[in-house]
Amino acid sequence: MAMRRRNWRGFIHASDEKPHLTWGLIKRVLRYGKPYRWQLIGSLLAILIYTGVALLSPLILRYLIDHAIPEKDLNRLTMAALGLLILPIVSGIFQIITRRLISQVGEGVIYDLRVALYDHLQRMSLRFFTHTQLGELISRLNNDVVDAQTAISRTLVTLITNFIEVIITLAVMLTLEWRLTLLGIFILPLFMISARRLGRVFRNIARRQMEMNARMNATMNETLNIGGALLVKLFGQRDAEVERFGRRAAEVRELGIQRATLGIIFMVIIHLLTAVGTALVYGVGGYLVILDLFTLGTIVAFGDYLSRLYNSFQGFINAPVEFATSMVSFERVFEVIDLPLDIREQEDAIPLKAARGMIAFDRVTFKYQDGRQGLLSDVDRPYLMEKAAGILSEEKQAARDPSQPATSQARELALKDITFTAQPGDLVALVGPSGAGKTTLTYLIPRLYDPTEGTIRLDGHDLRDLRLDDLSQAIGMVTQETYLFHDTIRANLLYANPHASDADLVNAAKAANIHQFIIDLPDGYNTIVGERGYRLSGGEKQRLALARVLLKDPRIMILDEATSHLDSESEALIQDALERTYTNRTSIVIAHRLSTILSADLILVMDKGEVIERGCHRELLALGGLYAHLYETQFKQ
């Protein structure tokens, strides 16, 4: 991929990158059409038939003008008229067959591309999604995939069809009058020159249109979902967002105008060249008719063939332009499919049949990647870029400046030299100031990220040696921010275990103290929770999240602020349920309540990404360090 220049706003200019239409790219595109080769062959055969049938019409006209009408033969006239009627019917039937077969190819390619793209995105690490706008991904899944399929389903077939039509038509014209044929094709090189020059411009504009549409889609997705709409309203940024969307929409508008203008210029040039060729042929052909060297029927038929030749050749030279433009869409789709996977499964990964739940961190260090390697284009938010750069500069300075307050958690390494072991059935509590690295530590256990240094083991196996599906099955996690699908409560709970029975569903809901709330709703478990669960309170969403992970029944439970939004009564009931689940599974809990740390087998006190204290509640209180301070200021209350 050629290096792209960025301007001060972070835009990527497609025009700065020279278009590359390589044979390797074409072969990769054609592979997507390989499963549909029989439909392609069938469509080409149908095209040959209706093309050949259509080429008979001028010959019938020639016969009418030169023989049937001058000789006043009614039988020949009737047969010729019937022929002119039957030929379009036969041609139309095979055109329908062609369209059916080509649609199967096109829609099949769309399906294959979308599934391949979506499958690869599902395999991407959490880092990719935290650095990529959702609207950009949706644009590639929808717009680019649809545009890409035209290269196979329409453009490639059109290219072959017009090539065949040009060859057959030229052959017929040469049999009629070779001198007029040479005169007619005299201007064809001008077609090719025009198409080649304008084709490059079309391709650049097409790439820029796709990128601008993706950014416009990203803006809509950011600000029109419930969270973004709420943020815009709370901070009074409506005018700024409208202005940003208008700026991007204006870019799309201008590119659309450019493309439409260039398109009509191209058509005018083609029609002008066609008119020149037609005038030459009819002028010379008419002169030959006057000299009785040429029949009137022949010149009429020849004019019809000439028109067909120009139309076919126009499509023939347009097809490479359209094909090259479609390649832009394929390039954008392949850009995502070719992104490297941060979290990979070994080819000989070890199956984990039944996890015991022993977790061991061995000198684990982790650093978030700062670079753009393995990601798509930068997020563009110009009016916030300078402020963000200033904040980032301050954070980096804080990581180096000893004069910063001790409470600052700014640093280069998210985690540093973490070592501990959780035996099967242990409850490990993580405590520490906000930003100390507690959530990051929990993200390493299900391999949302891999450690930069060191090893994490589950039952003695390096996590990187285990199958990802087995690891996911063994671990259940309730994150800080509860996410619910816009679906029923039942569907959201069953997401953890699609095969769970109604009794399992109810038991999990009771354990999370949410069952009574659910059955009091008018639709019970069939109640729609709304976009991201916004129809429910924070505590209700967290209890649903707890019920969901309990329904999964994992061997390892990770709870990140699992009870932070609950009232005292609900928390007490849930803690009773959780303590029962702690007895038969390993639990890693980010603790914000006294009840959690009192029952913990091991407490890890974290600060600036390091474990600075460890032990049970009494041992840590006796140390009089950070834990004792946190206990007095936070937990004891």
Digit-coded pLDDT (tens) for 514-556: 888 889 888 888 988 877 777 887 778 888 888 888 888 888 9
Following CA atoms 280, 284, 290, 295 in sequence, which dihedral angle do they give, to the nearest 10 degrees? -90
Model confidence band, residue 365 (pLDDT cutoffs 50, 70, 90): very high
Q: Are strands 427-431 and 415-422 parallel, antiparallel or unpaired?
A: unpaired
Read off the CATH number of the domain in which 302 is found.
1.20.1560.10
Could you give the 3-state DSSP secondary structure of residue 405? coil
* pLDDT, position 381: 41
**pLDDT greater than 70 at residue 247:** yes
In a domain, 397, yes or no: no
- Let me know: does 601 contact 427? Beta carbons within 8 Å: yes
Question: Span 113-124, mean pLDDT?
Answer: 85
Task: Tell me the pLDDT of the chain averaged across its residues.
Answer: 78
Residues 303 and 370 occupy one common structural domain: no
* pLDDT, position 570: 61
CA gap 441, 464 in Å, rounded: 16
CA gap 125, 342 in Å, rounded: 6
Question: Span 417-441, mean pLDDT?
Answer: 90
**pLDDT greater than 50 at residue 436:** yes
DSSP for residue 131: S
In a domain, 208, yes or no: yes
Question: Span 117-131, mean pLDDT?
Answer: 82
Residues 302 and 434 occupy one common structural domain: no
Q: Which of 309, 319, 300, 317 is nearest to 277 (CA)?
A: 309
Alpha-carbon Rg for the chain, nearest whole angstrom, is 35
pLDDT (tens digit per residue) in 441-500: 999 999 988 999 999 999 999 999 999 889 988 998 888 777 788 888 898 898 888 888
- Angle of helix 37-54 relative to helix 56-63, nearest 10 degrees, comes to 10
CA gap 52, 561 in Å, rounded: 73
Phi, psi of 607 (to 5 degrees): -155, 125
Residues 291 and 367 occupy one common structural domain: no
**pLDDT greater than 60 at residue 510:** yes
Q: Which of 354, 343, 373, 347 is nearest to 443 (CA)?
A: 343
* pLDDT, position 483: 79
Residues 310 and 364 occupy one common structural domain: no
**pLDDT greater than 70 at residue 631:** yes
Residues 556 and 470 occupy one common structural domain: yes
Number of H helices, E strands in the chain: 24, 10
Residues 90 and 175 occupy one common structural domain: yes
* pLDDT, position 582: 65
For 6-42, give the secondary structure using H, E and C: ECCCCCECHHHCCCCCCHHHHHHHHHHHHHHHHHHHH
Question: Span 28-52, mean pLDDT?
Answer: 84
Pull the structure tokens for residue 581.
């689940």
Read off the CATH number of the domain in which 446 is found.
3.40.50.300
In a domain, 348, yes or no: no
Q: What residue type is 434 in one-letter code?
A: S
The position carrying tokens 């985690």 is 415
**pLDDT greater than 50 at residue 402:** no
* pLDDT, position 583: 65
* pLDDT, position 400: 41
* The model's pTM: 0.71
Could you give the 3-state DSSP secondary structure of residue 455? strand
**pLDDT greater than 80 at residue 19:** no
Residues 148 and 239 occupy one common structural domain: yes
**pLDDT greater than 50 at residue 15:** no
- As to burial, measured by CB atoms within 10 angstroms (0-12 exposed, 13-18 middle, 19+ buried), residue 268 is exposed
* pLDDT, position 461: 92
For residue 378, give Cα distances in angstroms to 2, 140, 273, 406, 480: 17, 15, 45, 33, 27
Question: Span 43-70, mean pLDDT?
Answer: 83
- Let me know: does 180 contact 284? Beta carbons within 8 Å: yes
Residues 233 and 169 occupy one common structural domain: yes
Model confidence band, residue 104 (pLDDT cutoffs 50, 70, 90): confident
pLDDT (tens digit per residue) in 188-233: 777 777 766 776 777 778 778 877 877 787 777 777 766 677 667 6
Considering only residues 634 and 334, tell me which one the structure prediction assigns the higher pLDDT: 334
In this structure, of 21-35, 534-548, 562-576, the range with the lowest mean pLDDT score is 562-576
Residues 480 and 568 occupy one common structural domain: yes
**How much of the chain, in percent, has pLDDT values that exceed 70?**
81
**pLDDT greater than 80 at residue 509:** yes
Q: Which of 96, 19, 41, 45 is nearest to 323 (CA)?
A: 19
Question: Span 489-513, mean pLDDT?
Answer: 87
**Could you tell me which residues come within 8 angstroms of residue 11 by beta carbon, excluding any fewer than 6 positions away?**
380
CA gap 259, 511 in Å, rounded: 61
Residues 287 and 365 occupy one common structural domain: no
- Let me know: does 169 contact 309? Beta carbons within 8 Å: yes
**pLDDT greater than 60 at residue 242:** yes
CA gap 513, 529 in Å, rounded: 17
In a domain, 2, yes or no: no
In a domain, 404, yes or no: no
In a domain, 4, yes or no: no
**pLDDT greater than 50 at residue 391:** no
In a domain, 405, yes or no: no
Q: Which domain holds residue 40?
A: 25-337
In a domain, 344, yes or no: no
**pLDDT greater than 80 at residue 238:** no
Give the chain's domain count: 2
Pull the structure tokens for residue 386.
């300078």
Residues 265 and 363 occupy one common structural domain: no
**pLDDT greater than 60 at residue 512:** yes
Considering only residues 59 and 131, tell me which one the structure prediction assigns the higher pLDDT: 59
Residues 312 and 367 occupy one common structural domain: no
